[in-house]
Amino acid sequence: MTNLTPMVDLKKQYLRIKPEIDAAIQRVLDSTAFIQGEEVANFEQNFAQYNGTKHVISCGNGTDALTAALLALGIGPGDEVITVPFTFIATVEAIALVGAKPVFVDVCKDTFNMDIQAVESAITPKTKAIIPVHLYGQCADMEPLLCIAKTNHISVIEDACQSVGTEYTFPDGSVKKAGSIGQIGCTSFFPSKTLGGFGDGGALMTDDDALAEKLRAICRHGSIERYHHQYVGLNSRLDTLQAAILNVKLKHLDEFITARRNAATYYYKALSEVDWLELPAKVPYSTHTFHQFTLKVKNGKRDAVKSHLAKNSIPSMIYYPVPVHLQPAYRSLGCQEGDFPVSEQLCKDVLSLPMHTELTEEQLQYICQTIVNFPL
């Protein structure tokens, strides 16, 4: 096999848009304006327009975005924030870092997203916010969640780090982009994300003018006027170089998403007959942008399938091998094995296949053939 694929092919994507990217980088180098400036303001405007949200506040990474969101809502010690244990650690880390207590609800076994029915019983008088995670590029079911939040006067912060460009459809037919649905949406431009820079980056989205001003201040050391500090803040900015790169890549985002969907369509078709696999579920209320193509391997054979792929030089990943409630760093929360059985089982069953914008039919065919040939 001459043309193997990595898990994510950033090199080939760069080469495809190299002239545009190189020109954008050169522009920043020529200006020597490396912090803030026009490129950052332009990107914030363009990204707000793409998402249909009034304000975008760029920041250093997705974890900072989550932290800033919690700080802006005044959440801290004594408060509880509901989220899921089947996510990247940053979702929960941000809650812990502001001094609040993460409270978990399990996820649904088919969508991998928050089990909305479990939310109500996790609410206490201390609950200040809920953070649904739109995992792998598909939205959690937001409409019923927003109803619960509204009834209980709780804020919703979306972790949209894996779901840039994903669309949620409300029961009345209206459509919103992931990250523009709750009070605040958070996203990441880590290089491997669906909209990735060439380094770290992140952004916050909100329609609320006052929150936007506060978020902007919090990301700039809590200051609105320079050297006057209203809030305890962060030093969290999107580099101008990253903004310039992201301005180029944002123009291609819908093509990138189409390329991911085409690869996913191939996987669905080629693997549909494999009865020991469960392919990612599609839901009526959300599109899927396939940040990951994550399937479940039945019969406890996940690790064997992973080694079989590796032996045939095909990379695959486990997102995530350990649920957050069983991570050593979060032991003090007092959770035990068995507390969130769906998340725990998913950690044993899930496997993510190579997924990016540059997958060729030849590569997809080889990956799928290798899976079909696995001697179960």
Ligand X SMILES: *Cc1c(COP(=O)(O)O)cnc(C)c1O
Q: Which residue ranges make up the site for ligand X (CB under 6 A)?
A: 61-63, 87-88, 90-91, 133, 159, 161-162, 188, 190, 200, 202
Query: Closest CB to ligand X among 87 and 242?
Result: 87
Give 113 or 363: the residue with its C-beta nearer to ligand X. 113
Nearest to 202, CA basis, from 213, 193, 211: 193
Which letter does DSSP use for residue 35 in this model?
B
| Smallest gap from residue 135 Cβ to ligand X (A) | 7
Residue 132 DSSP code = -
For 44, 58, 179, 222, 229, the CA distances from 225, given in Å and listed in that order, are: 20, 18, 28, 9, 8
Secondary structure percentages of the chain, helix, strand, coil, to 5: 40, 15, 45
- 3-state SS, residue 355: coil
Cα separation, 84 vs 36, in Å, equals 34
Q: Is-contact 222 76, C-beta < 8 A? A: no
Give the shortest CB-120-to-ligand X separation in angstroms. 23
Nearest distance from C-beta of residue 14 to ligand X, angstroms = 19
With beta carbons less than 8 A apart as the criterion, state whether 130 and 144 touch: no
Nearest CB to ligand X, comparing residues 88 and 112:
88
Which is closer to ligand X, CB of 202 or CB of 280?
Answer: 202
Cβ proximity to ligand X, 13 vs 87, nearer residue: 87
> Least Å distance between CB 298 and ligand X?
25
Q: How far is the CB of 195 from ligand X (least distance, A)?
A: 11
CB of residue 64 vs ligand X: minimum separation in angstroms? Answer: 7
Residue among 201 and 363 whose Cβ is closer to ligand X: 201
Q: Which residue in the shown chain puts its C-beta closest to ligand X?
A: 62
Task: Give least dist CB 325 to ligand X, A.
Answer: 16
Q: Would you call 165 helix, strand, or coil by DSSP?
A: coil
Identify which of 214, 194, 196, 191 has the alpha carbon closest to the alpha carbon of residue 204: 214
| 138 strand-pairing partners | 288
Q: Which is nearer to ligand X, 28 or 160 (CB)?
A: 160
Strand, coil or helix: 310: helix
